[in-house]
Structure 1
């Protein structure tokens, strides 16, 4: 049975699962043991093969580490230029590495390059210790964040992806954490850089040339991010996100027998998605949708915006003209108004059926008119007349 289907289609406040018609990609046509394709905007599953099977993820594990780093950078806790001291524990990590020396200093930026491009285990442990004081503390944070994201079949034991019997996740869960990472752009540059280098050692006298393990960088249009992984237990793995026009998709393959298979199959999955589906964006986040009158405000009216894209993910043959948007705003709005409190909604329809609702907000805080100024401008003006 063809499985290019849509499950878990939640249009914001709508709770019903919608199924998009099937297309030509069949699970049986893939050699990878597990795979999934999702829409990055709402998490809708478009294709799956054993997406909930618990498997070893190898270095794809580091997507969660990169997410935690990105979140700490976003709230100002760490910066690219900050320096950290490499511990004996970090320097002693095996597997993929950049051969850091114990007690040398490095910058956060160099560690991000090493993790994103070479998948360096020593750099990963160094960042885990830098952020949380220990690898164990970082692993706890990774598992806590996984639960928050709904990664219900994931359990991390380390920050590197090196084999551990209980270090398991699923293709679907990997897609979820990749989706979350796309909210930030702190590591995009490094994930999409083909070649760079860092100098390591206490004297910084050893150049480590970094060649990205993700060869999609050179041959896949619209690639946004990607992370490879390999161990003998996990085999070849890959998570990749790509964008074309207004559509962003995330594909994951696990358990491929060769690196050639993982790259070929992830491109096949992404291509099928872009060929058959698209996002129609009616209003982008922050666009002025309309104006609304307001009483007792500094100004007589204000701009109305949405804090998210107003969009619909659908089959590629649909057009924007097939849909209707209705705007419902509260009546007799009175200042003050907060930009964080909704004052209405946009409702999306197709063929008379409601597809979703999107909250609308003032573009900025609306201050109440000063009473004395209001009196001078209005009451006295009328008296003078």
Structure 2
């Protein structure tokens, strides 16, 4: 049995090295956090793990999912930063971290976002939940539905704040997944990476609440783009953070740390190792012109060919673009009309004769069919006259 395990292990190393992925330098036993993970944000490839499927209390990291729902609604123009809401008794009475909003006072979405992202305010979180879904319960259902959509199979939300509850738990792996989802949007990034700000609360807006971000990484970690801390006696000190350097974006999560210094130190350690060992090579960016192609019977004779996604590959830091082969296969004798949503070819990415990915290619825009009269005069009539 040991011999079989050893053979499988070395085969795994050979496969990983053949496509340019190194083994990770940090050992799980070296970390004091109870659970930790590092992933590539683009494809959620796991680069490092420690007890990533252990169900644990997430504390205020819970609010990442709330921010996902807020971002979705902003993206659909269902809510806006300057929209106002009236604070309920329920929201104003929330304990724990808060900005001391009062019952019946009027607040804006932007002020509540600042309070959630920077102070991790429970009262602001409940206020936003009620504003978006009519009740906290409605928002909790939406959070759990979104968790299922993201395949967060070991997650159960019982509130929007992260306050202790036996039915409120998640895992490092699931937290990384919802952090990756939040990165699809940029509505909250500026608040998550702002060190200090303030909002005015109270019915007369006569009380200034100075907000100091709970995420100290803002001040000294290069490339940090988002982060959310959490703490309760049950969860201990937690943190989920994403950082970007050049074209590489990594997400790290640590849970169950004994003090705040440990969570910041271990997040940095994990991220640093990731950036030292891996990088994301981008061959073509989403929407950029890759090549051009001719089309018959169209109002235009040529059109630009694009991809609807980044064409990239996550690999070790020693690889370079020239190590890869890109083969462009565009259909011949294309006829109008062409839809921007229908593929006209594909790009095959390979390395050392191993196919790593295939990507559909599309027209940059719809190509309309030339009218018969226009086609006649531009082609047939012109030839007759000649």
Deviations 1:254-300 (A, max 9, x none): 00000000000000000000000000111111111101111111111
Give the equivalent residue in structure 1 for 2:326.
325
Rounded to whole Å, the distance in 1 between the matches of 2:25 and 2:340 is: 46
Rounded to whole Å, the distance in 1 between the matches of 2:77 and 2:243 is: 28
Matching of residue 203 in structure 1 with residue 204 in structure 2: yes
Rounded to whole Å, the distance in 2 between the matches of 1:179 and 1:374 is: 50
Within a 5 Å distance, the mapping from 1:1-385 to structure 2 comes to 20-385=21-386
Deviations 1:325-371 (A, max 9, x none): 00112222111111111111110010001001111110001111111
Rounded to whole Å, the distance in 1 between the matches of 2:154 and 2:344 is: 39
Deviations 1:59-106 (A, max 9, x none): 000000000000000001000000000000000000000000000000
Deviations 1:128-152 (A, max 9, x none): 0000000000000000000001111
Rounded to whole Å, the distance in 2 between the matches of 1:101 and 1:19 is: 56
Secondary structure class of the residue paired with 1:268: helix
CA RMSD across the alignment: 1.3
TM-score, scaled to structure 2: 0.94
Structure 2 stretches lacking a partner, 5+ long? 1-11, 13-18
Deviation at 1:19, TM superposition (A): 9.2
Rounded to whole Å, the distance in 2 between the matches of 1:119 and 1:21 is: 37
Secondary structure class of the residue paired with 1:208: strand
- Whether the aligned pair in 1 keeps the contact of 2:303 and 2:363 (CA below 8 Å) is yes
TM-score, scaled to structure 1: 0.95
Secondary structure class of the residue paired with 2:60: helix
Give the equivalent residue in structure 2 for 1:15.
none
Rounded to whole Å, the distance in 1 between the matches of 2:334 and 2:237 is: 58
Deviations 1:163-216 (A, max 9, x none): 001100000100000001001000011001000000000000000000000000
- Whether the aligned pair in 1 keeps the contact of 2:20 and 2:319 (CA below 8 Å) is no
Secondary structure class of the residue paired with 2:290: strand
Deviation at 1:22, TM superposition (A): 1.5
Count of matched residue positions in the alignment of Structure 1 and Structure 2: 370
Rounded to whole Å, the distance in 1 between the matches of 2:249 and 2:92 is: 38
- The list of structure 1 runs, each at least 4 consecutive aligned residues, that deviate by more than 3 angstroms after superposition, is 18-21
